[in-house]
Amino acid sequence: MTYDSLIPVIRKLAIEAGAKIMEIYNADDFDVKVKSDDSPVTEADEAADALISAGLRAAFPDTLLVTEEQAASHTTKGDTFLIVDPLDGTKEFINRRGDFTVNIALVENGVPTRGVVYAPAKNRMFFTLADGSAVEETGAFDPEVIGETQPIRVSEPDNGALMIVASKSHRDQATEDYINKYSVKDSKSAGSSLKFCLVATGEADLYPRVGRTMEWDTAAGHAVLLGAGGKVVRFDDHSDLSYGKDGYANPFFIAYAPGVDLKEA
């Protein structure tokens, strides 16, 4: 695998998975089940997972693959792996709110170095180029041909008037308490990994997450944010958020533009 070979594949698979998800999203009804951890899963999650997994295994058979929908089978560990959340924001999908994404990332030595985040209901797609820089693509999202892209870059934040983005489905008192440590101009809610992308484009300065997430929820957005000059650190000690942890569970974290004067937890 090279970065040049990786990027067209993950972009194509994200678009194809997004099309499958939207077919189900726009249907009159769809099946919703409950997983062992009490989180919901839909037929769209499963269809997108099957499509992406087959595509990645065909293209990169020697690279370890970790996906949310096959989490129970992840017994092998490696320094380099592909990690997938085929439909991040399942609650947003079920409630037909549109804030859901397809996420595919490459992790190397604990760092998500390349990734794609596609929000098919929002017509927004963000990904890293082979050189690691981040772009947003606009246009028809042809799976075979990359359309017009615009480089994206984090903001130069004003610490006296910060723009905050937080979870739409998981915004609780602990999150509010932390946000209240800052001088906030405005705050917005967004679902799924879109929050990383809003920081990456400069539409927000800071995204704190005081709640449970898994590595497949965050890796692709994290890669895009790194490519746009941003950072993601642990909430407790502000060290870099790393990947390949036991059970693929994340601690609380903060995603931000480096000009933000981070507050202690």
The Cβ of residue 68 has, within 10 Å, a number of other Cβ atoms equal to: 24
pLDDT digits (tens, 9 = 90+) for 52-83: 999 999 999 999 999 987 766 666 678 999 99
Predicted TM-score of the model (pTM):
0.93
Mean pLDDT, all residues of the chain: 91
d(CA 152, CA 44): 29
Residues 131-145 have a mean pLDDT of: 95
Among 34-43, 120-129, 177-186, which is the least confidently predicted range?
34-43
Among 3.40.50.2000, 1.10.10.60, 3.40.50.1820, 3.40.190.80, what is the CATH number of 162-256?
A: 3.40.190.80
pLDDT digits (tens, 9 = 90+) for 84-130: 999 998 777 777 777 899 999 999 999 999 999 999 999 999 999 99
Residues 27-40 have a mean pLDDT of: 64
Question: Which helix (H) or strand (E) element contains residue 21?
Answer: helix 3-25
pLDDT at 35 over 70: no
**Could you tell me which CATH number the domain at 3-151 has?**
3.30.540.10
- The ranges assigned to domains in the chain are 3-151, 162-256
pLDDT at 99: 86
pLDDT at 145: 95
pLDDT at 25: 86
pLDDT at 20: 94
Please name the residues in contact with 18: beta carbons below 8 A apart, sequence gap of 6 or more. Answer: 48, 102, 118, 120, 141
pLDDT at 254: 97
The Cβ of residue 180 has, within 10 Å, a number of other Cβ atoms equal to: 10
Higher pLDDT, 260 or 43: 260
